[in-house]
Amino acid sequence: MFSTALTSVLTGATPSQLARWRKDGPSGVLLEPEHGTRPRCRYSYNDVVALRMFVRLRDVRSLQQVRKAVETLMEHRPEDHVSQHRLEAPIQEKRGIYWLDEQGAWVEMADSPGQGVIKVVMDDILGEFVTDDGMVVPPLHTPAQGLELDPQVYSGTPTISGTGVPYQNVGSLAEDGMSGDDIRHWYPGVPDEAIEGAALLYRQVQARRAA
C-alpha cells in the first residue's frame, strides 16, 4: 500500500490534486484509493499506475475531459480497474482522449465518445516523465538509483534492489547522519548508491508530507 506522500512522488500528482480527484465532480470521483481513505488514504499499485496516466493526460487536457474519458471507459468496463486500460491524449492533437480497445483500435472517449481513429502514438507511462509544471516523475519500477518497486514485494513499497529492505528503513538512517558502514551493520550488503537513492526518495516523500 502507498501513502499519499509516496503516491505523490511516484505519480507527479500533488497532494492537493489527489484530494480533489478523490472528490465528486461533474462526472463523479476520478479515483478513490483501492485500500480506502480511513483512517488515512492508502493507494494500491493499480492506483499509482492509473494516476501516472491521469497526470500525463492532465498536462495536455482539461480535468473535465479526463473525468469524462474515465467515466466513459468505466461505463464500458465497470468490472475493471482503470489501470488495466490505456488512455492517451496525443500532443499533436488539440482535442480528444483515446482508449485502446481489445481489438487494437483507438476509440475517442472524451469529446466524441465511440468515434474510432486510425492511429494514436502511445507513450510509456511507466517510464520517467516531466509534468507540465516541471516536476520530474521517476520511472515507477526504479524510482531512484539502487531501488526497485515490485507490486508483489512489501505491498509495492520501493525496496533496496535485490534485498526486500524497505527504502525508508535505509533512507531515514542516512538522513539522520548515519554513515554507509554503520547502515551496513544493520543492513549488510547495501551499496552506497542504494543508500543515496533511498535517502533521496525519503527526502522527497517527507517534503510531500509537509506540503
Closest among 112, 117, 124 to 100, alpha carbons compared: 117
Per-residue pLDDT of the chain (211 residues; tens, 9 = 90+): 899 999 999 999 999 999 999 986 665 689 999 998 888 899 999 999 999 999 999 988 999 899 999 999 998 889 999 999 989 887 666 678 988 887 777 788 887 766 655 444 445 678 899 988 899 999 999 999 999 999 888 888 999 999 999 999 999 999 999 999 999 999 999 999 999 999 999 999 999 998 7
Domain ranges of the chain: 4-137, 147-210
Pair 9, 205: CB distance under 8 Å: yes
Task: Calculate the alpha carbon distances from 170 to 5, 21, 49, 91 in Å.
Answer: 18, 32, 25, 40
**pLDDT computed for residue 167 by the predictor:** 98
Question: Which of the following CATH numbers is that of domain 147-210: 1.20.1250.20, 1.20.120.790, 1.10.10.10, 3.40.190.10?
Answer: 1.10.10.10
Cα–Cα distance between 58 and 96 in angstroms, integer?
A: 12
Grid coordinates belonging to 68: 469524462
**pLDDT computed for residue 210 by the predictor:** 84
Task: Supply the pTM of this predicted model.
Answer: 0.82
Q: Could you give phi then psi for residue 16, rounded to 5 degrees? A: -70, -35
pLDDT digits (tens, 9 = 90+) for 135-175: 999 999 999 999 999 988 888 899 999 999 999 999 999 99
Chain mean position to CA 142:
12
**pLDDT computed for residue 123 by the predictor:** 53
Task: Calculate the alpha carbon distances from 160 to 83, 95, 145, 164, 177 in Å.
Answer: 25, 42, 9, 6, 19
Which sign, positive or negative, has the C-alpha torsion 166, 167, 170, 173?
A: negative
**pLDDT computed for residue 5 by the predictor:** 96
